[in-house]
Amino acid sequence: MGLDLVVFGLGYVGLPLARRACAAGLSVTGVDVSRDVVAGLRAGRSHIGDIPDRDIAAMLDAGFTATVNPAPVGAADTVVICVPTGLVDGEPDLGAVLSAASAVARHLRPGTLVVLESTSYPGTTEEVLAPVLESGGLVAGADFHLAFSPERIDPGNAEFSFENTPKVVGGLTPVCAKRCAAFYEDLVDTVVVAAGLREAETAKLLENSYRLVNIALVDELAVFCAGMDVDVWDVLRCAATKPFGFQPFTPGPGVGGHCIPVDPQYLASRARSAGLPATLISTALAVTAGMPGYVARRARDLLARVGPVPGARVVLVGVTYKADVADMRQSPAVGVVRHLRAMGVQVSYHDPYVDEFTVDGVRVPSWSGDADLAVVLQDHRRVDLGAVVRAARVVLDTRGVAVGDHVVRL
């Protein structure tokens, strides 16, 4: 029996795609190398915060299957690759893309559309993916269609979903682009066709680099303002009233997650190897990487006002990488814990999304209810900030959300 879609990689990106495709009436199979992920989905359990179990049940009802076996590729009209693209020693790691591609190549049949959604540097789809896919003897652009379409999943975003976020597509040939656009047109409200593969690949890197650079700018501004006795939050409030030419960003304890600290390094690495500049990205990465240490030093200065720093009790409020998600990947909270521990501080945490928090093999205990200092790292809607403010002697608020006489903002 033919399949409309096979999705490789059933994580934060692949699972929402599979869910949307099932809802649109497509026949979908998901392939993942993780037996746990596959077994969980088959049993109706979601491992992705934004996707409730009932949605997995609806997908299974619609005929969705998850498997570790890539053979269903041989029956698919479209194959979309959504596997992780991380870093090893600061350099792009395309290992998962290459291994997914060789699994696809073994079963690929003529006429299939293969799309890469994983973030990577310009040239990846044509120079890295295509040769592996062609290893079975079929030629990209002639025997099968090849395209790149950057994912834009924003975990925890209640306003913009897969469906109402415009989808950029780029094809190896104009026909590949057309075929890819037609596939996504059935799933999303708006499809935007890029000039080619490289433009689609680079658009994604620009989007995330833009966020990184602007976050670094306001982080550095926050440090500057604290040193100049200027209220950075009021500066931001005033600047944000400009109706043109300004987009507000807010400072914080540093960036985390799978994209903002990672994707710009794909651009920087490619620039380095081509002898081209990526100065702003390198500087922005350095500025954001310095924020956990800065937050810890601000915490130390506040503690020193009320007593000795070694042995002082500090609770970190919200330790995931951003508000309203359960995702701990590259959370700046880890760096804050390390710096505070090095100062002899007793660190606990309070986060309804995190059952267990371990840093360098040592468990961070959950909050017992009082503390010398509370540091607000993420402002989860599910946290009663008022209760935190009442319970702590002093509050360091890195998000500009807490109010009270003893609240000090970043």
Query: 94 is written with which tokens?
Result: 């395309």
Burial of 138 (0-12, 13-18, 19+ CB in 10 A): middle
Among positions 247-266, residues that touch ligand NAD (CB under 6 A) are: 258-259
- CA neighbor of 12 nearest in space, from 209, 258, 210: 258
- 7 in contact with ligand NAD (CB under 6 A): no
Question: Whose Cβ is closer to ligand NAD: residue 104's or residue 222's?
Answer: 104
Which range touches ligand NAD (CB under 6 A), out of 92-100, 216-224, 245-253, 311-319?
Answer: 92-100
- 119 in contact with ligand NAD (CB under 6 A): yes
Long-range contacts of 59-63 (CB under 8 A, 24+ apart): 59/18, 59/19, 59/22, 59/28, 62/22, 62/23, 62/25, 62/28, 63/22, 63/27, 63/28
- 8 in contact with ligand NAD (CB under 6 A): yes
Active-site residue 259, yes or no? yes
Q: Count CB neighbours of 281 within 10 A.
A: 23
The answer to whether 118 and 81 have CB atoms below 8 angstroms apart is: yes
**Crossing angle of helices 197-228/291-306, nearest 10°?**
20
Smallest distance, ligand NAD to C-beta of residue 286, A: 21
Chosen residue from 3, 5, 6, 10 binding ligand NAD by CB under 6 A = 10
Active-site residue, from 22, 82, 180, 259: 259
Question: Whose Cβ is closer to ligand NAD: residue 85's or residue 288's?
Answer: 85
Beta bridge partners of 357: 364
Chosen residue from 7, 153, 172, 334 binding ligand NAD by CB under 6 A = 153
Smallest distance, ligand NAD to C-beta of residue 220, A: 24
- 99 in contact with ligand NAD (CB under 6 A): yes
Chosen residue from 6, 12, 134, 359 binding ligand NAD by CB under 6 A = 12
Smallest distance, ligand NAD to C-beta of residue 256, A: 11
Smallest distance, ligand NAD to C-beta of residue 86, A: 7
The answer to whether 123 and 274 have CB atoms below 8 angstroms apart is: no
**363 Cβ contact list (under 8 Å, min separation 6):** 356, 357
Query: What is the number of the residue whose Cβ is closest to ligand NAD?
Result: 11
Smallest distance, ligand NAD to C-beta of residue 183, A: 18
Which range touches ligand NAD (CB under 6 A), out of 83-91, 133-141, 226-234, 295-303?
Answer: 83-91
Smallest distance, ligand NAD to C-beta of residue 92, A: 10
**Crossing angle of helices 197-228/279-289, nearest 10°?**
50
Question: Whose Cβ is closer to ligand NAD: residue 260's or residue 314's?
Answer: 260
The answer to whether 309 and 241 have CB atoms below 8 angstroms apart is: no
Question: Whose Cβ is closer to ligand NAD: residue 64's or residue 367's?
Answer: 64
DSSP letter at 51 equals S
Using the Cα atoms of residue 23, residue 26, residue 27 and residue 32 in order, give the sign of their dihedral. negative
Smallest distance, ligand NAD to C-beta of residue 66, A: 10
CA distance 388 to 368: 11
Q: CA angle 41-19-265, nearest 5°?
A: 90
Q: Count CB neighbours of 233 within 10 A.
A: 18
Chosen residue from 17, 18, 37, 188 binding ligand NAD by CB under 6 A = 37
Query: 14 is written with which tokens?
Result: 């692949």
- 116 in contact with ligand NAD (CB under 6 A): no
List active site positions: 259
Question: In the complex, which residues of this chain contact ligand NAD (CB under 6 A)?
Answer: 8-14, 31-34, 37, 82-85, 96, 99-100, 118-119, 151, 153, 155, 258-259
